[in-house]
Structure 1
Amino acid sequence: MISPTSPKLKQVSTINSDIRSGRASSKSAASTASSSSLSNTRNNRSPNPPTKRYSTHDISSVPQSPEMSNEQVFDLMEKEQDKIVVKMTREISQLQEELKALRAQANSRSRRSSSISSNASLEIPRGEPHAAATIRRSSSSTHTHQVPQAQLHELAQENAALRHENEALKREIESLRAQLRNPVCIYSSSLPHYTTLAVDPPVPFPQWLTDFTGLSQWPGLDPPYVPLDFINFANVPAVPQHAQAQCATLFRDSCSFDCFNCISFDDVYTCPQLSQTFDDGPSPATIKLLDHLSSKSTFFTLGVNVVQYPSIYRQIVERGHIVGSHTWSHKFLPGLSNEEIVAQIEWSIWAMNATGGHIPKWFRPPYGGVDNRVRSILRQFGMQSVLWNFDTFDWKLLDPAYSRDEKEIYRDVTKFRQANNNQGLILEHDAVIRTVNIAIEVNKILGPSQLTVPQCVGGIDYIKRFN
């Protein structure tokens, strides 16, 4: 609970003209935003960023092993990440074999149970409710044999247990596949091998956030909900929660992008100049991407990564790129409660504020999971959802279950560019080296004339900057 004496965050202006059209001028919208925003201290002061030990403009200033260049480190990262993917894929295959054997066992038991039920009728003698059941054959045979009633009950229990184990295995397989698509685990598992590129310690938990939340450290993957006085759940439409790819409970008026590819009036989903956007960073792999980009771009960052890699995050900003929110820990928002959605957004904002001294305007929903319930909460933060109209599906390169390769991606980008008059927004990822290598080649195809998201719609870069 928040102490009654803790300072309250000021309400973020929804910037009405910007929300209505997504095309407010940068100058006027920035002026409006500066008067109403999330306050990071009681006196609305900028947080003091951690002292930088090295320049974030040039990673050559970072002490490197004399035996390894940056490119050699990147190559090592890619090999290690590929090994992790192979290991996870093998685990998925093993689980699938277990699932196959389990289903065969369940089918065998089901046939056995059906055989007993179809070939015999169960008769319990009157007055003896706990006596053994007399099983009589359905045929005209006068032969009878005694089978304990517990046998049928035991078979039913075994079948129920097998069904439960079957569902558990399926969930475990889906969880591993989700990890392959959301590769935080892939690069975090090999961190010790490329700490030379992560030059700063994690962002200290700021005092202003302790004063407001009563907490003293950054949360794990499930951040706690902290009530905000400008978030009114009464204004949030009652759209049913749904798991990813489970759309049966939704109506079309929910305007779900992940279920119906529905675009709302203030969603950004295309651009007059075909441009790349990147999700899931910052990560050590982001450094390689920054060194090769010929144009300014938009990076949608995870709060949990922002506080882990502050120098890389600041390097994105200092090189002139735009950063937006991608939630705190990449949760599928339509499957969460209203409070959990707020937690994912607010902690992402606080991470970006504590690290970069700004409040984001642009938001990329993980997995494209956004509907009118999620949008309503986003608007109360003054944020807009940024979607896409071309997905490279670069994450499929990490899952051998898919046959997609680099050449297919380059071919598809070229075809989309030609078919859409060089207009649109491209979804890519900067979490691992393999997808970064793809992004570098796509950048060569598109050239230096790409735009950032606010440039695409004539909007502001951030709701507010504190420095």
Structure 2
Amino acid sequence: MDGPMLVRRGAAGVLAAAVFGGLSTLAPVDERVRLTAARSETPAPEPKAPRPEPKPPPPDCTRVKCLALTFDDGPAESTGELLDILASRNVKATFFLIGENAAKYPGLVRREHEAGHEVADHSYTHADLGRASKKKIISELTRTQEAIRRASGVTPDLLRPPYGSTSERLTRIARRMGMAQILWTVDPLDWRHRDTEDIERRVLESVKPGHIVLLHDIHSTTVRAVPEIIDRLAAKGYVFVTVSELFGGKLAPGEEYTQSNSGEGQGLP
């Protein structure tokens, strides 16, 4: 009995080994199938976004006839049309923004910044900062800075006092806040004379290299004058830059600026 029983036990052991061995060899195959399927379901990585083109250097205003177009009191509904005009001519400008308008139209502020224009502070309510108290000045400027920062992500370092009204008190506060005071050279009185042809004539007859032109994008008559102003001056060799570019980025906080003298040797148009 011992002999046959040993044979049967041996056969059973071989069969069990074969069965369990088969299972052990099948398990890795099933696992590989599962992993392969899982890998096939994994989405391909997103392609990397192309790197933005490097920004070209600003014009050298000691060698070319530079001019700064500036627009006050916006943004307003008419600002969108102006931005289209500037984009079509690849012209950069500086916008001195009223804080309450920046809060009302944050999309336009963001669009100005993203288009490469310079955004700057023009007080929150168009207040007379030259006659205002310290508390009033700080409130007007800081609220405008915050409205512009929220809309565009940048904090301006340029200030244009409404009416050009400044004072020693405002100068001290602007210096402490790191803002230069930007006035102007050419004022076509577009806020008074709502006549497109008259605005064009006044600007074209007055500008010289290094000048800062004061305009208001809240008036549609002014916006309609901009294409002719740009085209006529560009034909005379003018290059349009932001205020900071006009001064080569060398603007001291608190100081007042009305024009750049870098273009004096360029000759008149």
TM-score by length of 1: 0.37
Give per-residue Cα distances to partners, 1:363-392, cap 9 Å, x unaligned: 111111112221111111010001111101
Q: Secondary structure at the match of 2:95?
A: strand
Aligned counterparts of 1:350 and 1:280: Cα–Cα separation in 2:
17
2:203, 2:219 → 1: CA distance? 20
2:80 partner amino acid: I
Aligned to 2:226: 439
Instruction: Trace 1:111-260 onto structure 2 (pairs within 5 A).
Output: none
Partners in 1 of 2:132 and 2:161 — Cα distance? 13
Q: CA deviation at 1:454?
A: 0.8
- Partner Cα distance (1:272, 1:318) in 2: 25
Please give the per-residue CA displacement for 1:167-189, whole angstroms capped at 9, x wherever unaligned. xxxxxxxxxxxxxxxxxxxxxxx
Contact 2:196 2:221 in 1 (8 A): no
2:105 counterpart (303, 309, 314): 309
The C-alpha deviation readout for 1:234-282, integer Å capped at 9, x for no partner, is xxxxxxxxxxxxxxxxxxxxxxxxxxxxxxxxxxxxx961221100111
Please give the per-residue CA displacement for 1:1-33, whole angstroms capped at 9, x wherever unaligned.
xxxxxxxxxxxxxxxxxxxxxxxxxxxxxxxxx
The match for 2:71 among 266, 272, 278 is 278
Instruction: Show the counterpart of 2:156.
Output: 360
Residue 411 of structure 1: aligned partner: 201
Q: Cα offset for 1:435? A: 2.0
State whether residues 297 and 452 of structure 1, in contact with CA within 8 Å, keep that contact through their aligned partners in structure 2. Answer: yes
Q: Which residue of 2 aligns with 1:102?
A: none
Uncovered stretches (5+) of structure 2, i.e. residues with no partner = 1-63, 254-269
Quote the RMSD (CA, aligned, Å): 2.1
Q: Which secondary structure does the structure 1 equivalent of 2:178 belong to?
A: coil
Q: Write the distance in 1 (CA, Å) between the matches of 2:138 and 2:224.
A: 34
2:125 alignment partner in structure 1 = 329
Give SS of 2:130's match. Answer: helix
Q: Are the counterparts in 2 of residues 349 and 359 from structure 1 also a CA contact under 8 Å?
A: yes
**Correspondence for 1:178:** none
Q: How many residues align?
A: 183
Please say if residues 361 and 460 of structure 1, whose CA atoms lie closer than 8 Å, have aligned partners that are also in contact: no
Amino acid aligned to 2:224: N
- The alignment partner of 2:127 has SS state of coil
Separation of aligned partners in 1, 2:216 and 2:139: 23
Decide whether the 8 Å contact of 2:196 with 2:222 is kept in 1.
Answer: no
Q: Please say which structure displays the higher CA radius of gyration.
A: 2
Are residues 1:288 and 2:81 paired?
A: yes
| 1:34-183 matched pairs, under 5 angstroms | none
Alpha-carbon contact 1:394-1:438 (below 8 Å) kept: no
Percentage identity across paired residues of the two chains: 34
User: Can you list the C-alpha shifts for 1:260-305, whole angstroms capped at 9, x where unaligned?
Assistant: xxxxxxxxxxx96122110011111001001111211111111101
1:430 corresponds to = 217
For 2:169, the equivalent position in structure 1 comes to 373
Instruction: Provide Cα deviations, 1:386-410, integer angstroms capped at 9, x if missing partner.
Output: 1111101100124xxxxxx433332
> Normalising by structure 2, what TM-score?
0.64
